């Protein structure tokens, strides 16, 4: 009887191993989920409103319009998605400081807008986005 | 026989005693990871996001997906535009400094994505547009 109680005490210490297994599994789970957070993205937020009046000396912006059917117009000339940058560069050759104003209609495709935005940013052309209503 | 068993047991006991400091360390690591981990609620839908060159790494804690069918998904459910404010308020309560990321599909309407972006900006949430992950 006494021998048996001693045996049980021994077993009580052996029982730590499954708990350690669980703790390890939890630890691995948290390590894996913690490194999962990173995402790549663009900042397409418009700049905050400022009280200073717009610079009147600034050259007029190059207007890139994308309509509901994903037709793209650079200063009212129709262009292809891949040729937007070359068209913008042609206008910027005359007015090197002009910015790009991206006027989008609500049903234009997100992918096209991001592509144009990204191309402008990659070539350090200042770009801002503006929505236009269908009736305007 | 019984004596031999007990001697073997004492040998085992000494080896297992050394586990305790390791267990302490493991527990501290576990608690550290529990505390630092921010649980992201996945939108629950796959979107084909546009590829970009000027993308930067962000650490969002809120994900809003807009599919090609112009459905807004947050936390595995579809929401209408007018329901979105309440949902985001709820997420903000869990994580007040949350930063958001909009996972817009290439075919989604830009108007809807700008609507979501404007809503999040109105609520003072830092928001970015998610692009294709490399």
User: Tokens 């630092």 appear where?
Assistant: B36
- The answer to whether the CB atoms of A41 and B60 lie below 8 A apart is yes
- The answer to whether the CB atoms of B132 and A107 lie below 8 A apart is no
Contact with chain B for residue A42, Cβ under 8 A: yes
* Model pLDDT, residue B113: 92
φ and ψ of A113, to 5 deg:
-65, -45
Give the integer Cα–Cα distance in Å for A75 and A24. Answer: 62
Collapsed DSSP state (helix, strand, coil) of residue A130: strand
Give the integer Cα–Cα distance in Å for B122 and A91. Answer: 35
pLDDT band at A12 (very low <50, low <70, confident <90, very high): low
Whether complex ipTM tops 0.85: no
Give the integer Cα–Cα distance in Å for A119 and B5. Answer: 76
Condensed to tens digits (0 to 9), the pLDDT of residues A88-132 reads 999 889 888 888 898 999 889 999 999 999 999 898 888 888 888
Q: Does the pLDDT value for residue B80 go beyond 50?
A: yes
Which residues of chain A are within 8 Å of residue B59 when distances are taken between CB atoms?
37-39
Q: Does the pLDDT value for residue B126 go beyond 80?
A: yes
Condensed to tens digits (0 to 9), the pLDDT of residues B42-65 reads 888 888 888 888 888 888 888 899
Token pair recorded at residue A81 = 């998605």
Is the alpha carbon torsion for B3, B8, B11, B12 positive or negative? negative
Q: Does the pLDDT value for residue B72 go beyond 90?
A: yes
Rg (CA), chain A: 30
Mean pLDDT to the nearest integer, B84-102:
87
* Residue from A64, A102, A110 whose CB has the most chain B CBs within 10 Å, to mutate: A110
The interface residues of chain A toward chain B in range 77-136, judged by CB-CB distance below 8 A, are 104-111, 113-115, 118-119, 121-122, 129, 131
Q: Does the pLDDT value for residue B114 go beyond 70?
A: yes
pTM value?
Answer: 0.72
**H/E element, A18:** helix A16-34
Contact with chain A for residue B111, Cβ under 8 A: yes
Which chain B residue is nearest to residue A47, measuring alpha carbons?
A: B121
Give the integer Cα–Cα distance in Å for B86 and B106. Answer: 26
Strand partners, B104: B66
* Model pLDDT, residue A72: 92
Which residues of chain A are within 8 Å of residue B27 when distances are taken between CB atoms?
23
Condensed to tens digits (0 to 9), the pLDDT of residues B16-30 reads 567 778 888 888 888
- B62 vs chain A: nearest CA distance in angstroms? 10
């Amino acid at each position: 009887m006494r021998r048996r109680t001693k045996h049980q005490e021994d077993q009580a210490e052996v029982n730590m191993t499954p708990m350690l297994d669980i703790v390890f599994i939890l630890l691995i789970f948290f390590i894996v989920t913690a490194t999962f957070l990173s995402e790549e993205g663009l900042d397409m937020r418009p700049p905050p409103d400022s009280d200073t009046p717009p610079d009147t000396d600034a050259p007029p912006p190059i207007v890139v319009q994308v309509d509901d059917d994903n037709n793209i117009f650079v200063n009212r000339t129709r262009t292809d998605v891949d040729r937007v940058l070359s068209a913008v560069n042609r206008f910027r050759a005359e007015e090197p400081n002009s910015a790009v104003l991206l006027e989008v209609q609500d049903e234009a495709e997100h992918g096209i807008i991001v592509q144009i935005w990204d191309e402008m940013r990659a070539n350090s052309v200042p770009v801002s986005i503006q929505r236009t209503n269908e009736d305007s | 026989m019984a004596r031999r068993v007990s001697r073997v047991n004492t040998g085992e006991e000494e080896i297992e005693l050394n586990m305790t400091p390791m267990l302490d360390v493991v527990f501290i690591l576990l608690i550290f990871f529990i505390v630092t981990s921010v649980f992201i609620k996945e939108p629950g839908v796959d979107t084909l996001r546009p590829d970009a060159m000027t993308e930067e790494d962000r650490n969002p804690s809120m994900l809003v997906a807009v599919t090609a069918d112009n459905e807004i998904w947050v936390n595995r459910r579809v929401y209408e535009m007018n329901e979105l404010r309440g949902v985001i308020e709820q997420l903000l309560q869990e994580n007040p400094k949350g930063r958001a990321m909009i996972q817009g599909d290439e075919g989604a309407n830009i108007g809807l994505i700008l609507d979501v972006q404007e809503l999040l900006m109105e609520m003072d949430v830092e928001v970015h547009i998610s692009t294709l992950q490399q």
